Structure 1
Amino acid sequence: MSGAPAASAAPPEAPPEAPAPGAQMRVLVPLAIVTLIWSSTWLVIRDQIAVVPPTWSVAYRFAVGAITMMLYALVTRQTLRLPREGWAMAAIVGVTQFVLNFNFVYRAEHYVTSGLVAVVFALLVVPNAVFGRIFLGHVLTRRFIAGSAVAGLGIALLFIHELAAGTAGHAAVATGIGFTLMGVLSASTANVAQATDLAKRLPIVAVLAWAMALGAAMNAGWALLTVGAPSFDPRPAYAAGILYLGVVGSALTFPLYFGVVRAIGPARAAYSSVVIPVLAMALSTMFEGYRWSVLAASGGLLTLAGLVIALRARSPAR
């Protein structure tokens, strides 16, 4: 990741300003598309881990994503060439976003419901803002810190609910949430990397196409070393899930999302993380039989309320 904190003699740089009214739709529309699609991918991921080792499923997903993006670049005559520093950026995003993040997420869903993983993942805004302060010089406010504390309390209540419900053992719940938090940190690293000046000078389609290709190759290599030869679930639903996650959940959404990150910064781009868990928990209730309680509902509401407070604090004037 490139970029450095602002010099101590100068005030910290404010986050990128919100787009002008005429440009808001260019941010809101892609963010809405990403939010709707990623709300559904949590449930599809849950189906992917039934038979095939997670790392192989991740490798298949991003192989499909990389091929789709390269075909798109050819059809639209966009370059796939990268300068030397562009390859470094593709490698950073490939390792953090398409290897570490997704391996952690897929493993987390072995232990807890997809909806709960989505709620915990909503905390992405916290490291996005903290890393943005460290590496990009963005401002952290007291209101943001207070909101993050409220969100953390909400996550704690959800954690307590899972333990009390007895749907999984204490160790399983802790492991699932732990994997999710590691995924959050990995994804945040990629998010902030995409907001650097270097990333903004690079063609986003080329960076992501090669990042997905590198990620797929690294996942396949790691899977060979750790779980053996490739395996594939013969169910049509598994193949359809790979195509959906690779084409729609990756090749379509990541260029849109990282375009928003480049335009308005990683903290504001995480606005989608407030809405995604609400939709994901609804789907989890419908398809996974997630059981709500007063404690779980309170935890979910506190998490979302805290994130809203934190996000509203990330819009100081320049």
Structure 2
Amino acid sequence: MATTEGRFTPLAWFAFIVCTLIWGSTWFVIRTQLGEVPPSWSVTWRFALGAAVMFGLCLVRGKSLRLTGRQHGFALLVAVSQFVLNFNLVYRSEQYLASGLVSLTFAFLLVTNTALSAAFLGQRVTGRFMIGSAVGLAGVALLFAPDLGKPGGEQMGLGLALAFGGVISASIANVLQATSQGRAMPLEAGIAWAMAWGALIDGAVAWVVSGPPVISTAPVYLAGLAYLGIAASAVAFNLYYILIRTVGAGPAAWNGVAVPVVAMALSTLLEGYQWTLTAVAGIALALIGLTIALTAKASQS
């Protein structure tokens, strides 16, 4: 694909809008997977379906699925960090937090990605980026602090810890992708095998933690599973990589700021999230801080 770095073409706008709407709604759909089915089994079914779709896409497009032993080892590392640790923590965090609030914590992937890249890949971090990150984290503190000291606040604290654990796990996978070995991986086949390895490990973890396989035949559950496995896992990842290759990683990262806006709107409409002045101020401050950090990162990329 010819690159038009920094310029949003009609295809780029399409990819940006669709990814934002899909990933913005994903957080609420995850809640339809909680309850009758243990979280680890829901994660297993999601990536088993996602892997099947990715393998099918590779076959339809004529993409080779062959990886070397070294590449399978790399796909396994991505699987553990992204499709096992990250999503098992995310699904559990939504047992304690509104879906929109979990999405807000994941906007901080920009911060953790940059911190890990600086530590392990030698990338430079500007003072403006650090200021933006500090402002964003202050916004999160303002959002959660009033409720952490109330009865039941320990449950919110646990949900927040699980969510940020998922953020760190996802960042590890992102930094792996930024290494020379990650860039050399075939994109479609790499995603397909990483999801497949992830589903296998998720299944093993689920069996140990929750017992034999469990799945719900409720239409809402199956529809949510199809949406998460096909749209959110297979389709959106492919569109996002098209976006990155068209406009560059910096402009594409605005998706991370737009997604929580959609997620919070859905959480308000569908979960009855109650807004307070403190919550409004905290979320606004978090998004302002992330915007400052993002523009600082974009200016140095």
- For the aligned pair, the TM-score class normalised by the smaller chain equals over 0.9
Counterpart amino acid of 1:233? S
TM-score normalised according to structure 2 size: 0.92
Q: Which among 268, 271, 276 is matched to residue 293 of structure 1?
A: 276
Equivalent residues, number: 299
Q: What's the counterpart of residue 94 of structure 1?
A: 79
C-alpha change, 1:157 and 1:200, in structure 2 (3 Å) is same
Q: Which residue in 1 is equivalent to 2:167?
A: 184
Task: Measure, in 1, the Cα distance between the counterparts of 2:134 and 2:192.
Answer: 37
**CA distance in structure 2 between the aligned counterparts of 1:198 and 1:263, rounded to whole angstroms:** 22
Preserved contact between residue 5 and residue 246 of structure 2 (Cα < 8 Å): no
Q: 1:213 aligns with which of 192, 196, 203?
A: 196
Partners of 1:177 and 1:266 in 2: CA distance: 27
Deviates more, 1:266-275 or 1:133-142: 266-275
1:242-281 aligned within 5 A: 242-258=225-241, 269-281=252-264
Query: Partner of 2:297: helix, strand, or coil?
Result: coil
Partner of 1:149: 134
Q: Following the alignment from structure 1 to structure 2, what is the Cα–Cα distance between the partners of residues 125 and 311? A: 7
**Is residue 64 of structure 1 aligned with residue 49 of structure 2?**
yes
Amino acid at match of 1:149: A
Shift of 1:199: 1.9
Query: What amino acid maps onto 1:101 in structure 2?
Result: N
Distance in 2 (CA, whole Å) between partners of 1:21 and 1:277 is 23
Shift of 1:32: 3.1
1:126 matched to 2:111: yes
The DSSP-based 3-state class of the residue aligned with 1:315 is helix
Query: Which amino acid in the other structure matches residue 75 of structure 2?
Result: A
- 1:185–1:134 Cα change, 3 Å: same
Distance change in 2, residues 1:317/1:110 (3 Å): closer
3-state secondary structure, aligned to 1:313: helix
CA distance in 1, matches of 2:265, 2:24: 10
Q: Deviations over 1:223-254 (max 9, x none)?
A: 11111011112211101111110000101112
Deviates more, 1:147-156 or 1:75-84: 75-84
Q: Give the secondary structure class of the aligned counterpart of 2:107.
A: helix
RMSD over equivalenced CA pairs, Å = 2.2
Q: How far has the Cα of 1:173 moved from its partner?
A: 0.4
- The 1:87–1:63 alpha-carbon spacing in structure 2 relative to 1, beyond 3 Å, is same
Q: What is the TM-score when the length of structure 1 is the normalising length?
A: 0.88
Match of 2:66 in 1: 81
In the other structure, the counterpart of 1:6 is: none
Contact 2:7 2:247 in 1 (8 A): no
Separation of aligned partners in 1, 2:18 and 2:78: 21
Which stretch of structure 1 is more off in the superposition, 255-264 or 58-67?
A: 255-264
Closer, same or farther in 2 for the Cα pair 1:140/1:265, shift >3 Å? farther
Local SS of the residue matching 2:178: coil
Q: Which deviates the most, 89-98 or 27-36?
A: 27-36
Cα distance in structure 1, aligned partners of 2:119 and 2:248: 14
How do 1:16-27 and structure 2 match up within 5 A? 20=5
Pick one of 5, 11, 19 that aligns with 1:34. Answer: 19
The structure that is helix-richer by fraction is 2
Is 1:161–1:296's contact at 8 Å kept on the other side of the alignment? no
Further displaced range: 118-127 or 56-65: 118-127
Alignment check: 8 A CA contact 1:125 1:267 kept: no
Deviates more, 1:71-80 or 1:288-297: 71-80
SS in 2 for 1:110: coil
Task: Kindly indicate whether the alpha-carbon contact (under 8 Å) linking 1:191 and 1:266 is maintained by their aligned counterparts in 2.
Answer: no
Q: What stretches of structure 2 of length at least 5 have no aligned partner?
A: none
